[in-house]
Amino acid sequence: MRVIRLLCRAAALAATACVGIARAGETQPPAKVVGAFLEQYCLDCHDSTTKKGKRNLEAFQLPLKSVPNLISARELIDEIALKEMPPKKSDQPTAEERLAVLHALREGTSAARSVIESAGPHTAMRRLTSREYENTLATLFGRRVDTLGLTADFPKEKTSQHIDTIGQSLVTSGFLLDQYFQSANRLVETRLGKPIMKPQQWHFNGHFVQYEELQGPHKDVFNYGFLNIYEQPNTDTRQGGYGHIEDFLQGVPVSGLYDIEVVAQAMHRDTHYDPAIFGIDLSEPFILGIVPGDITKGHIHYPQPIEPLLASKTVPDEKLTPLEFRVWLEAGQTPRFIFPNGPYESRAAVVTINQRYNNEFKVKMTGSSVSRARILREGELPHIRISDIKIQGPVTEHSGSVEEVAVFGKDGFQADRAMDQLLAFAEKAYRRPLTDADREPIRAMYEKRLGEKATPRQAALDALKLILCSPSFLYLRETTEASAKALKAYDLASRLSYALWAAPPDDALLAAARSGKLTQEAELRKQVQRMLADERVTAFVHGFLDSWLNLRDLGSQPPPRETNRAYYAEDLPTSMKMEARLFFRDLLKNNGSAAEFLDSDYAFVDKKLAKLYDLPEQKTLRLADGFKKVSLNGNEHRGGLLGMAGVLTVSANGVETSPVTRGVWVSENILGIHPPPPPDDVPAIEADVSGATTVRERLARHRADKVCAECHHRIDPLGFSLESFDPIGRWRAAYPKPKQKDVPAPKVDASGEFTSGEIYEDFAGFKKVICATREDLFIRHLITEVLSYSTGRLMEPADSFVIDDIHEKVKKENLGLHTLLVECLTSAIFRSR
């Protein structure tokens, strides 16, 4: 029957196809053009019998009457335009035929707009994400709240396609509701319910007991007279990583600002020992940082759930010098001192020094090579030495505490005005005018607590907790009617402020909502422009890049320490994230072309990344210089997102690289194409633990399976060029040397061929193909990501018409990133429920 069908099809084509398709643009209706094209070039593989790739095009026709047909039309347009269909080995249409069918399909999708778009999707009401929750509390109360760790025990946030703002993924459980209550209770009682206390002073100049392994030698040499900090705090061994005050484990009595004076000195930064032993740059000044510790939350020498950096300063070399800090500590927290740019694994350093420099010591090593005492007496081990610590506080805030003013106003709590003060704060917390239904529970709680003999202030604090547990606070709760399509002004204000600032609307935005002008496009555009220029847009840059590029997972699969020492010793993940953020901010500020995400002739690097990238600036940059915009002219190893170490690290598994893993990442995050998951019965690609074969050789065997070949022909070319980078983004020409002796390290082959026929020889060639042929795909995907992140829902086929409109507007403005964001945030999609 299949042969008979093919013969009939061939006979029909002989009479009509050649003339019909060639002249389609002139005379044939779009439906006939598409039908003839599919008949001649597609149905042999994609009819109801064969369904190659699980695709049946036999019933596809214009006009488009359903969303599935719209999806098929979009896929056909992309594949025919990229020459991915028909496959290379099949008969190919002429250029005229391709243009004719593309014109017909595009005309067909445009004609379907009114039918499909009318039943457009809506955003599910969503709660605040954990980061938005903390940002909101910090904004409302006027002070950082990360020292409280309010979300430390919250369930891990679920994401959808790596985006953390999608309403349908933000589940609210009974456990989370309990956590909300506990967080509100802790915040209110710790900050506003604390007892009034006069400033106290504590002075410590001895009994500096340290990590268990250090106690013996420190008592022998110093009698605990100094607090010595050897290394970074987050390494495996942590010996000397956290310097605590043994006689202040109880911490401060109340939450507040505390002045800390530390007498410290950088010791042996000029050591003659081999710098490689310590894994740090000894030309850089040593840095002393302060983080909080809580003895009730875990071992004081180990990382704890709540330890934000409170302050840091460089430490002089010449002599013991007083350094002054003002930090916020919560009740029960004690300051711990860290060495952010300190040596890596001090235990290993001590062993190496004792072995390699044994002859330099008066006391020769006879026992364990871990002996520290003789190094402390005679040696030159780099460390920070502290001899004296003074703590004073809580510091009096003469205009009242920031939290008191934020909640009750500049005059503080007034019992006779308690309800007015609470309702004024509730309006800020709910981000809209209050209704009677909003006021009644607050009033009832206040009066209930008074009836239970609570003081007026305590009754007000308990009502404040109720406000912070209300769905109107925890959710972006819409007041727009379900039957309406466009958001009302206050709902639009909240959506915009959380999209760009991850925080509540400010006074200017609320004023625009109050006036009713915000729903007008001109005013909305004005507010978007204002907010994009505000420094608070940093929240969008961080949150969006964490979602779009999945940078929040950077570090979740860390590489082996023994082969990637710099990754840990220099805290490269922090620099990697900052590079992407600064690149994005620069394009946003200057309305630079979003195409520069695909390739650029500049990058933002600090000293650490300049070294990782082997750039000339590694010789001139200092840590104090921070990041600098540097030219990449003539450098074909970097440029654009795919040359960034953060992207290359998060798209690897930490141990080895794979064209499949990175190819899928490029397909999903750059081109917006989500490959189907592999069938359950397909075996995984076997690892070669000996290192004798390349992953390309293993993939060739894998692709011999026809079931695997279909997807791998599309995925692998997107990842082959990135084999030029190791798991943390260093450039390489060869893979690691195999374990077998006399076997050379396999060379990296970074060449590839797209299913559409384009060939590249290396990373630079790959980027040229992407820029030349897939720029439109990338820009459309970037628009889609911005809209999904900012609206709280994934885009659907019905949204593609508006996305097309935005794309056309952005192309007229040279693909400016600022323009792209403005058009997204003023679009019909963003303004709709």
Per-residue pLDDT reduced to its tens digit, 191-208: 999 999 999 999 999 999
Whether the predicted pLDDT of 5 surpasses 60: no
Mean pLDDT confidence for 574-596: 97
Q: Which residue has the higher pLDDT, 745 or 258?
A: 258
Say yes or no to pLDDT of 21 above 50: no
768 near 96, Cβ under 8 Å?
no
Distances (CA, A) of 366 to 145, 218, 393: 52, 19, 49
Q: Average pLDDT, stretch 431-455?
A: 96
The helix (H) or strand (E) run that includes residue 267 is strand 256-267
CATH 2.60.120 given to domain 200-393: yes
Please compute the mean of the pLDDT values over residues 148-173 and round it to a whole number: 93
Query: What pLDDT was estimated at residue 638?
Result: 95
Residue 606 has pLDDT above 50, yes or no: yes
Angle at which helices 489-500 and 817-825 pack, to 10 degrees? 150
Could you read off the pLDDT of 634-661 as tens digits, one per residue? 999 999 999 999 999 999 987 788 888 8
Mean pLDDT of 61-84: 78
Least confident span in 21-30, 342-351, 368-377, 410-419: 21-30
Q: Is residue 159 scored above 50 in pLDDT?
A: yes
Largest CA distance in the chain: 102
Mean pLDDT score of the chain? 88
The pLDDT, as a whole number, for residue 115 is 66
Determine the pLDDT at residue 736.
84
pLDDT of residue 737: 81
253-308 tens-digit pLDDT: 999 999 999 999 999 999 999 999 998 889 999 999 999 999 999 999 999 989 99
pLDDT in tens, 372-430: 899 999 999 999 999 999 999 999 998 889 999 999 999 999 999 999 999 999 999 99
Residue 222 has which token pair?
Answer: 């110093």
Confidence at residue 510, expressed as pLDDT on a 0 to 100 scale: 97
Q: How far apart are CA 442 and CA 448, in angstroms?
A: 10
Q: What is the pLDDT of residue 777?
A: 94
d(CA 138, CA 187): 11
The C-alpha atoms of residue 821 and residue 818 are separated, in whole angstroms, by 5
The answer to which of 88-97, 117-126, 349-358, 457-466 has the lowest mean pLDDT is: 117-126
Structure confidence at residue 102 (pLDDT): 79
pLDDT at 90: 79
Determine phi and psi for 789, rounding to 5 degrees.
-65, -40
For 422, residues 6+ apart whose C-beta sits below 8 A from its C-beta are 442, 446, 460, 463, 464, 467
Percent of the chain residues past pLDDT 90, beyond the cut = 66
One-letter amino acid of 486? A
Please give the backbone phi and psi of residue 821, each rounded to the nearest 5 degrees, phi first.
Answer: -65, -45
pLDDT, position 405 = 96
Is the pLDDT at 122 greater than 80, yes or no? no
Of 79-93, 304-318, 626-640, 789-803, which gets the smallest average pLDDT? Answer: 79-93
Does residue 45 surpass a pLDDT of 90? Answer: no
Distance CA 473, CA 218 (A): 52
The predicted structure's pLDDT at residue 195: 93
Kindly list the distances between the CA atom of residue 236 and the CA atoms of 346, 401, 518, in Å, as whole numbers in the listed order: 10, 40, 53
Structural tokens at position 543: 């949150």
Percent of the chain's residues with pLDDT above 70: 91
Q: Is residue 602 helix, strand or coil?
A: strand
So what's the pLDDT on residue 569?
A: 81
Q: How confident is the model at residue 709 (pLDDT cuts 50, 70, 90)?
A: low
Query: What confidence score (pLDDT) does residue 689 get?
Result: 41
Residue 699: what pLDDT?
61
Q: What is the 3-state secondary structure (H, E, C) of 334-399?
A: EEEEECCCCCCCHHHHHHHHHHHCHHHCCCCCCCCCCCCHHHHHHCCCCEEEEEEEEEEECCCCCC
Is 330:148 a contact under the CB 8 Å cutoff? yes
**C-alpha neighbours within 13 Å on the C-beta side of residue 481:** 2
pLDDT confidence of residue 585: 98
pLDDT band at 716 (very low <50, low <70, confident <90, very high): confident
Tokens of 251: 């911490």
CA–CA distance, 830 with 806 (Å, rounded to integer) = 12
At 224 the pLDDT is 95
Least-confidence region, from 46-50, 265-269, 694-698, 737-741: 694-698
Res. 360: pLDDT tops 80: yes
